[in-house]
């Protein structure tokens, strides 16, 4: 499933090619593409006609177009969703689920989804849910809000406007609303394995299996390390590793293992060439040369270096 770098790459492309344009006609070819929209396929298509795309935004693995009247077109790519921009006269590919043409007659936007796990829906914007206060013994500093993504009034933070269905999702580590102190306190209260916590989108959003393994390797922390045993310095080191790996992956256009993840122009990312542990079972660790280990984890896999990331005795498996 696309993680933060892949979704941000798509969002940036959409911001360049689609924002500022007005939808002429929306066509739904497969009702599953809008299965979560209460108006159904016909109602969705009718409601999108004449709507301007004013901003392209993202939180974690979700992206959305802000529309007029405090509404948004929310998109989740699922396992194989693609938002592709191109010549409106090009033939329809087999897995195009929804198509948007624009009043300027320029490139259209097509939601393609081979496995139909992704979805589109119209929804209202609202302030995001406030995070739980930290438990380190000191108040959390408030991060500044980005232009157009919320604001502050004195020392009191104002919520960023996000789609209602994802208001409960935590800020991701690359957005200004992310609060390291709140994250650290909530992480240590989880009492679970650290990788399981990183995949919890209500704690920190945008991180999936690939980047969790990569960040934990950089931070020299085992994926089953109990969160309640983490020290402040270890959490800071982990957060730095998370931000570094996400930023580097974003510069590379994300990670593509097959043709299912591409940007809006149909191009693949190439961060897979920089992976240190994920998918490298049996290959030498780039730091110490020890063969990388793969363990079963939540019906998936967890990759780590047995020497750089020793298993804790009191692990949460």
The residue count of the chain comes to 317
Distance of CA 184 to the CA centre of its chain: 20
Cβ proximity of 204 and 2 under 8 Å? no
Answer yes or no: are the C-beta atoms of 304 and 315 closer than 8 Å: no
| Known catalytic membership, residue 283 | no
Q: Which residue in the block uniquely carries the two structure tokens 């298509």?
A: 45
Is residue 2 part of the annotated active site? The answer reads: yes
What H or E segment, with its residue span, contains residue 242? Answer: helix 232-251
Residue 45 structure tokens = 């298509």
Exposed, middle or buried by CB within 10 Å (0-12, 13-18, 19+), for 231?
Answer: exposed
Active site residue 191: no
Integer angstrom CA distances of residue 242 from 54, 182, 246: 30, 16, 6
Angle at 68 between CA 64 and CA 73, to 5 degrees: 25
- Burial tier of 164 (Cβ tally within 10 Å: 0-12, 13-18, 19+): middle
State the helix-helix crossing angle for 232-251 and 180-189, rounded to 10 degrees: 120
The Cα–Cα gap between 27 and 192 comes to: 45
The residue from 146, 284, 300, 310 that is catalytic is 300
2, 5, 163, 171: which one is catalytic? 2
Sign of CA dihedral 247, 251, 252, 258: positive
Answer yes or no: 130 catalytic. no
Which of 51, 61, 160, 186 is flagged as catalytic? 61
The catalytic residue positions are: 2-3, 61, 300
């Amino acid at each position: 499933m696309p993680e933060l770098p892949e979704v941000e790459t798509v969002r940036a492309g959409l911001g360049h090619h689609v924002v500022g344009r007005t939808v002429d006609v929306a066509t739904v070819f497969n009702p599953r593409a809008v299965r979560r929209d209460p108006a159904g396929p016909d109602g969705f298509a009718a409601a999108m006609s004449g709507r301007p795309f004013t901003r392209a935004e993202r939180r974690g693995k979700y992206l959305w177009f802000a529309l007029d009247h405090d509404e948004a077109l929310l998109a989740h790519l699922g396992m194989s969703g693609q938002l592709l921009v191109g010549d409106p006269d090009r033939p329809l590919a087999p897995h195009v689920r929804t198509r948007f043409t624009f009043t300027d007659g320029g490139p259209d936007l097509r939601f393609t989804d081979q496995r139909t796990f992704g979805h589109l829906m119209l929804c209202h914007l609202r302030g995001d849910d406030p995070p739980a206060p930290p438990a380190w013994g000191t108040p959390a500093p408030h991060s500044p809000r980005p232009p157009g993504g919320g604001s502050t009034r004195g020392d009191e933070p104002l919520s960023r406007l996000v789609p209602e269905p994802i208001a409960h999702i935590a800020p991701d580590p690359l957005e200004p609303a992310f609060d390291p102190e709140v994250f650290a306190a909530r992480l240590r209260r989880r009492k679970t394995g650290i990788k399981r916590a990183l995949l919890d989108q209500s704690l920190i959003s945008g991180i999936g299996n690939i980047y969790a393994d990569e960040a934990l390797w950089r931070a020299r922390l085992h994926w089953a390390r109990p969160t309640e045993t983490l020290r402040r310095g270890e959490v800071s080191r982990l957060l730095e590793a998370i931000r570094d790996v996400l930023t580097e992956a974003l510069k590379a256009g994300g990670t593509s293992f097959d043709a299912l993840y591409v940007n809006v122009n149909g191009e693949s990312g190439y961060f897979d060439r920089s992976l240190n542990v994920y998918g490298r079972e049996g290959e030498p660790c780039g730091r110490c040369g020890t063969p990388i280990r793969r363990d079963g984890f939540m019906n998936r896999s967890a990759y780590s270096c047995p020497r750089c990331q020793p298993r804790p005795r009191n692990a949460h498996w």
